[in-house]
């Protein structure tokens, strides 16, 4: 309850009420022993409430870095970045987002339930409330009944679902997902994509989703951000308007193929093929 209040109290200072992420002329340069690496250069992007935004691009294009900057896991070296109208660091301190990593990153000595309620524990929420919210979050990813299992007793796909439940458990409005299904096989991935879409439609959360799969990006997103490497930058932003309750069948339609084609063209144009 207190958390919700905190998140809502973040009055938009500069951005309009519906803008969740506002990035302007943001750059990030890593200083390495071999000289500077320009991970991100002059990135402009806004994400509005309720959008499902995919970041797609070849490896090294900075899509994960961009997500990490939004999450304040990396610091931009130039430009501005506002999350919920406040600087990224402040947003992180207010627990403005749930983050899903490439690997489930469940703590092996905790049961699924206590893994999912870990963020609530950190936020010092009472035990009964934790159990209730953990139960709700597990229900959202259809993992109810697995509360007392340990992570190793679950399949890879179920573990990743548990980690999504963990990101949902404290009810942040923004969900940041970094190739969450990258390590899973095609069938499981399709299934989880459908589940995620349902979840998004139901909860009306804002999702930022990193992927390197074109079908995944087109199927899930309301907005596709195509990126290109060296230096990492945005080369195209594509809005789609598939129905929110679409199913996997949408992938056979001409509209879907058209969007996928445009994404592929963008990727090809941005790719220098110098390696």
* Contact residues for other proteins, defined by CB under 8 A: 71, 73, 92-95, 97-99, 101-103, 105, 107-111, 118-119, 121-123, 150, 152
- Quote the distance between the C-alpha of residue 185 and its chain's center: 20
Going by C-alpha positions, the residue among 269, 237, 236, 211 that lies closest to residue 59 is: 211
Give 149 or 244: the residue with its C-beta nearer to other proteins.
Answer: 149
Give 137 or 263: the residue with its C-beta nearer to other proteins.
Answer: 137
The helix (run of H) or strand (run of E) holding residue 178 is: strand 174-178
CB of 100 to other proteins, least distance (A): 10
Residue with tokens 């900057």, as numbered in its chain? 69
263 phi/psi in degrees, rounded to 5? -65, -45
Going by C-alpha positions, the residue among 270, 266, 265 that lies closest to residue 232 is: 270
Question: What is the rounded distance in angstroms from the CA atom of residue 147 to the CA atom of residue 150?
Answer: 8
Greatest extent of the chain over all pairs of C-alpha atoms, in Å = 57
CB of 93 to other proteins, least distance (A): 5
Going by C-alpha positions, the residue among 203, 200, 211 that lies closest to residue 177 is: 211
Measured from the Cβ of residue 177, the count of other Cβ atoms closer than 10 Å reads 25
Give 89 or 247: the residue with its C-beta nearer to other proteins.
Answer: 89
Q: Which residues pair with 82 in a beta bridge?
A: 22, 87
Give 38 or 150: the residue with its C-beta nearer to other proteins.
Answer: 150
Give 94 or 222: the residue with its C-beta nearer to other proteins.
Answer: 94
CB of 150 to other proteins, least distance (A): 4
CB of 54 to other proteins, least distance (A): 20
Give 113 or 216: the residue with its C-beta nearer to other proteins.
Answer: 113
Say if strands 97-100 and 86-87 run parallel, antiparallel, or are unpaired.
unpaired
Whole-angstrom CA distances from 16 to 96, 173, 198, 205, 212 are 17, 16, 27, 17, 31
CB of 103 to other proteins, least distance (A): 6
Going by C-alpha positions, the residue among 63, 22, 20 that lies closest to residue 44 is: 22
CB of 221 to other proteins, least distance (A): 22
Give 145 or 265: the residue with its C-beta nearer to other proteins.
Answer: 145
Give 121 or 255: the residue with its C-beta nearer to other proteins.
Answer: 121
Q: Is 119 helix (H, G, I), strand (E, B) or coil?
A: helix
CB of 178 to other proteins, least distance (A): 10
CB of 220 to other proteins, least distance (A): 22
């Amino acid at each position: 309850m207190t958390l919700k209040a905190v998140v809502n109290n973040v009055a938009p200072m500069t951005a309009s009420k519906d803008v969740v992420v506002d990035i302007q002329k943001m750059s990030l340069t890593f200083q390495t022993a071999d000289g500077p690496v320009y991970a991100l250069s002059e990135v402009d992007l806004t994400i509005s409430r309720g959008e499902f935004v995919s970041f797609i691009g070849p490896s090294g294009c900075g899509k994960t870095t961009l997500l990490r900057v939004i999450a304040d896991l990396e610091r931009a070296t130039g430009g501005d970045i506002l999350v919920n109208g406040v600087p990224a660091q402040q947003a992180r301190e207010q627990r403005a987002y749930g983050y899903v990593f490439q690997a489930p990153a469940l703590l092996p000595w905790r049961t699924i339930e206590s893994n999912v309620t870990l963020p609530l524990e950190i936020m010092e929420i009472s035990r009964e409330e934790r159990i209730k919210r953990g139960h709700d979050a597990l229900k959202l990813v259809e993992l109810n009944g697995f509360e007392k299992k340990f992570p190793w007793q679950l399949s890879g796909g179920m573990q990743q679902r548990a980690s999504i439940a963990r990101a949902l458990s404290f009810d942040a409005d923004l969900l940041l997902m970094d190739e969450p299904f990258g390590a899973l096989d095609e069938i499981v991935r399709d299934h989880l994509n459908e589940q995620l879409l349902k979840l998004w439609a139901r909860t009306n959360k804002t999702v930022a989703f990193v992927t390197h799969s074109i079908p995944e990006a087109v199927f899930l997103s309301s907005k596709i951000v195509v990126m290109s490497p060296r230096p990492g930058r945005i080369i195209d932003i594509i809005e789609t308007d598939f129905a929110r309750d679409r199913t996997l069948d949408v992938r056979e339609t001409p509209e879907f193929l058209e969007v996928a084609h445009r994404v592929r063209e963008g990727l090809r144009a941005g790719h220098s093929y110098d390696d």
